[in-house]
């Protein structure tokens, strides 16, 4: 059977178109000869996800994104259509999570299988989730550091303001004076060190050590005397302990009380001594008596015959009586 030319051209064009369509779908990840299951996921934000991005389960590609559209005219959400290769069953409760598959920000969908033993049916809707982008993660990590840096800068500004206030001209002058005094102190220490070095290197230290050695030798030679002195002190202290010191102090206290009572009576004018001290009349009488006695003694010295008679041969009693009268 002969096939004319137009039929041949038609067949050829059909084959080319079929191959082109198959190649296009192949490049897009769709296999026209294998049956695939469609599922839907609703997101508030897809973060740059595009059609033909892969769908993976634990890193293995099991499908791809085939369509993205808005849920309504108000742009409240996005519906993502994905296709899964034949043979992969998706458990109920599975999550379709959008994440960054490389550092360039390319997006993929990671299917996190649920724990259910039942599988989703074709055209069912999966739960959605989206991983924060690298930029968002960096922003979240850097934000606390930024806040701390701002707080640190503010604190440093306050510190520098305080230092500027503290280190005024007067404070600077005082600081320079303190540094100068410290320098003089170190110079004095150096001078003292040199003096000590000079004393050590000269014979003065040797003489001092010899004197100390002589003193220690003297103390060592007088050890017996020192021991005897300490023994005597010990015996004296024992004697004091054995003495009834309390009784002695009691008697002394009683004696002082008696003397105090006598002094009180004298000051009150009681007794002879008190009258003598307090009463002027007694003093005057004693003074007059003393004066009279003095006059009598003077008269006796002047006129002894008036008071004393001597007779060698004796005399009668009448004569003595008369003379005496």
Please check whether residue 108 lies inside any domain of the structure. yes
Domain co-membership, 80 together with 48:
yes
> How many domains is the chain built from?
3
Residue 313 has pLDDT above 60, yes or no: no
Please check whether residue 321 lies inside any domain of the structure. no
Length of the chain: 325
pLDDT tens for 227-259 read: 888 888 878 777 766 666 667 778 878 888 887
Q: Regarding beta strands 95-100 and 125-130, do their DSSP bridges make them parallel or antiparallel, or are they unpaired?
A: parallel
Domain co-membership, 71 together with 3:
no
What's the Rg (C-alpha) of the chain?
A: 69
| Cβ atoms of residues 42 and 71 within 8 Å | yes
Residue 178 has pLDDT above 80, yes or no: yes
Task: State the pLDDT confidence band at 211, using cuts at 50, 70 and 90.
Answer: confident
Domain co-membership, 21 together with 38:
no
State which of 104, 131, 158 marks the end of a domain. 131
Domain co-membership, 20 together with 72:
no
Domain co-membership, 20 together with 48:
no
Give residue 59's region: left, alpha or beta (phi > 0; psi -120 to 50).
left
Please check whether residue 283 lies inside any domain of the structure. no
Please check whether residue 214 lies inside any domain of the structure. yes
The whole-number pLDDT of residue 113 equals: 92
pLDDT tens for 220-229 read: 887 888 888 8
Domain co-membership, 21 together with 62:
no
Question: Higher confidence at residue 310 or residue 204?
Answer: 204
Domain region containing 221: 203-243
Domain co-membership, 38 together with 126:
yes
Residue 97 has pLDDT above 90, yes or no: yes
What are residue 83's DSSP bridge partners? 38, 64
Please check whether residue 70 lies inside any domain of the structure. yes
- CATH number, position 45: 2.40.30
Task: State the pLDDT confidence band at 320, using cuts at 50, 70 and 90.
Answer: very low
Contact residues for 81 (Cβ-Cβ < 8 A; gap 6+): 38, 39, 40, 65, 66, 67, 68, 69
The whole-number pLDDT of residue 55 equals: 93
The CA-based dihedral angle spanning residues 135, 140, 142, 148, taken in that order and rounded to the nearest 10 degrees: 160
Domain co-membership, 49 together with 123:
yes
State which of 243, 270, 293 marks the end of a domain. 243
Contact residues for 49 (Cβ-Cβ < 8 A; gap 6+): 43, 65, 68, 80, 98, 107, 109
Q: Could you give the CA distance from residue 124 to residue 114 in angstroms, rounded to a whole number?
A: 14
């Amino acid at each position: 059977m002969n096939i004319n030319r137009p039929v041949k051209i038609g067949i050829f064009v059909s084959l080319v178109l079929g191959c082109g369509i198959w190649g296009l779908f192949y490049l897009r990840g769709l296999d026209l000869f294998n049956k695939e299951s469609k599922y839907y996921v609703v997101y508030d934000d897809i973060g740059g996800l595009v059609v033909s991005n892969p769908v993976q389960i634990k890193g293995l590609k099991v499908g791809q994104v085939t369509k993205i559209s808005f849920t309504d005219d108000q742009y409240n959400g996005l519906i993502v259509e994905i296709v899964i290769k034949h043979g992969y069953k998706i458990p109920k409760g599975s999550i379709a999570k959008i994440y960054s598959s490389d550092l360039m920000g390319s997006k993929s969908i990671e299917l996190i299988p649920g724990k259910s033993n039942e599988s989703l049916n074709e055209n069912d809707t999966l739960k959605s989730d989206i991983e924060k982008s690298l930029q968002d993660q960096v922003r979240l990590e850097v934000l606390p550091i930024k806040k701390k840096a701002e707080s640190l800068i503010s604190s440093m500004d306050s510190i520098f303001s305080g230092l500027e206030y503290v280190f005024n001209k007067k404070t600077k002058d005082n600081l320079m004076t303190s540094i100068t005094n410290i320098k003089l102190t170190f110079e004095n220490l150096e001078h003292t060190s040199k003096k000590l070095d000079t004393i050590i290197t000269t014979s003065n230290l040797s003489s001092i050590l010899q004197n100390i050695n002589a003193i220690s030798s003297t103390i060592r030679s007088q050890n017996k005397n020192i021991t005897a002195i300490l023994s005597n002190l010990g015996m004296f202290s024992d004697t004091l302990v054995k003495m009834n010191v309390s009784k002695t102090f009691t008697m002394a206290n009683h004696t002082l009380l008696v003397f105090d009572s006598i002094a009180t009576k004298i000051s009150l004018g009681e007794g002879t001594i008190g009258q003598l001290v307090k009463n002027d009349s007694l003093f005057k009488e004693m003074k007059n008596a003393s004066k009279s006695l003095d006059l009598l003694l003077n008269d006796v010295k002047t006129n002894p015959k008036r008071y004393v008679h001597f007779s060698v041969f004796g005399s009668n009693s009448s004569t003595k009586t008369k003379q005496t009268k």
